[in-house]
Structure 1
Amino acid sequence: MPNDDPSPLQHIPPTFYFGLLCITIAASIRYYCYKAMGKHFTYEVTMLKDHHLVTTGPYSIVRHPSYTAMLILSLGICVLCASGGSWMRESKFLHTVPGELITAAWFLLYSRLIVSLFLRVETEDELLRRQFGNEWNEWERRVPWKLVPGIY
C-alpha cells in the first residue's frame, strides 16, 4: 500500500528555512570577523599590546560586523524556533504556561542583548577613536555604518 503522505520536507515552511539562512549567514560573518581580526578578536572591550586597526574584510562594510552577526543569529534562532515544523510550535509548548514564560524570558534577554550591543558599539568606537586618532577618523569616513549598511 503506497504512502500518500507528502514528504516531511514538504511540511517545512519557508520561515524555517529563513531562520536557518539567518543562522548560517551569522556564522559566516562571525567566521570572517575572527579571520580578519586574528588574535585581536577578544570578547572583552580591550586593547592588546600590539593592537592595530582592522579595516578590511567585513570591517570594510560596517565597523562592528561581529555584532551585526549576533543580531542576525538571534533573529534566526527566534524565527527557527517559532516557525511551523519546529518542536516548539508542533508540540504546542509555546501555548503552555512554561512555554509562555520561557518565551517572555527569551524576549527580555534578547532585548537586553540588543541594548548591550548598542552600548558596546559606542564604547568600542570611543576606545578606538582615542587609540587610533586620525586613522580611526578616516576609517569612520570610509565606513560610516556601525551595524547595518545604509541604516545604522
Structure 2
Amino acid sequence: MISLVTAGKALWVLLVASWYLLRRPFDRRARRAKLTVDRRRGADMIRLAISLTGLGIIPVIYIVTGQPRFASYQANPLLFTLGILTGIAALVLFRLTHKALGQMWSVSLQLKQDHKLITTGIYKRVRHPMYTAFWLMALTQALLLPNYVAGLAGLVGFGFLFFSRIRPEEAMMEEAFGDEYHRYRARTWRVLPFVY
C-alpha cells in the first residue's frame, strides 16, 4: 500500500505537470503578441526566481531526496484530502483565468499591443484570480507535502512575489487604463471575494 507521504509527493508532481500543461498553449500564443510595456527586468525577475524556488525547487529537492528530514512530520489524512480539494480548485481557477485572458496573459509585468482590460467571467468580481490560483497551489503544496520546509516554501516564495508585485502591477494597469481601471478596482476584490 502506498503511504500518504508517497501519495502526496506523487499528487504534487501531477499538479505541477498539469499546471504546466494547462499553461503551455497560452504561453505559446501570448509570446507571439507584440509588447507595449515590459517591466520584466530586474526586480520582477528576482521575484519570479524566489517564487520558483518556493513553488518548485525546494519541493523537488524534498521529493527526490527526502531532505530536510528534520522538518518532516507525520502525514495526516485530513490534510491530504484538503490538499486534493485545493489542488483541484487551483487547476480549475488557473484554467479559467488563462481562458479569460487569452493573449492578454503574461507571466510578468507586461502589456500587449491592443491590450484590453478583462472584466468579465472569472474577472467580474476578482481582479487577480490567477494569484488566487497560485495561493491555492501553494496551500496545496503545504497540505500534500508533510515537511515544514518543503510544504511551506510555496507560501513563502509565492507570498514574497505577490506582496512585492501587486502594487506595481496595479499601478501599471492604472497607468494603462486610467478611469476604466479605477472603476473596475472599486467594484472588485483583489484575490478573495469579501476578504481581500
* Shorter-chain TM band: 0.7 to 0.9
Question: For residue 192 of structure 2, what is the aligned residue in structure 1?
Answer: 148
After TM superposition, what 4+ stretches of structure 1 lie above 6 angstroms from structure 2? none
Given the alignment, which residue of 43, 67, 75 partners 2:131? 67
Decide whether the 8 Å contact of 2:141 with 2:154 is kept in 1.
Answer: no
Q: Residue 55 of structure 1: which of 99, 119, 136 is its match? A: 119
- Alpha-carbon contact 2:144-2:151 (below 8 Å) kept: no
The residue aligned with 1:34 is 98
Amino acid corresponding to residue 113 of structure 1 in structure 2: F
The Cα of 1:115 is off from its aligned counterpart by 2.0
Corresponding residue SS for 2:109: coil
1:78, 1:109 → 2: CA distance?
A: 7
The higher radius of gyration belongs to: 1
Q: Distance in 1 between matches of 2:153 and 2:134?
A: 16
Relative distance call for 1:27 and 1:65 in structure 2 (3 A) is: same
CA offsets, 1:86-142, max 9 Å, x none? xxxxxxxx5xxxxxxxx4365355313202112221111100001000110110112
Of residues 103-112 and 27-36 in structure 1, the stretch that sits farther from structure 2 once superposed is: 103-112
User: Can you give the 5+ residue segments of structure 1 that lack an aligned partner in the other structure?
Assistant: 1-7, 83-93, 95-102
Give RMSD over aligned pairs. 2.0
* SS at 1:47 equivalent: strand
CA contact (8 A) 1:121 1:146 kept: no
Alignment length (residue pairs): 122
Which ranges of structure 2 fall in alignment gaps of 5 or more residues? Answer: 5-75
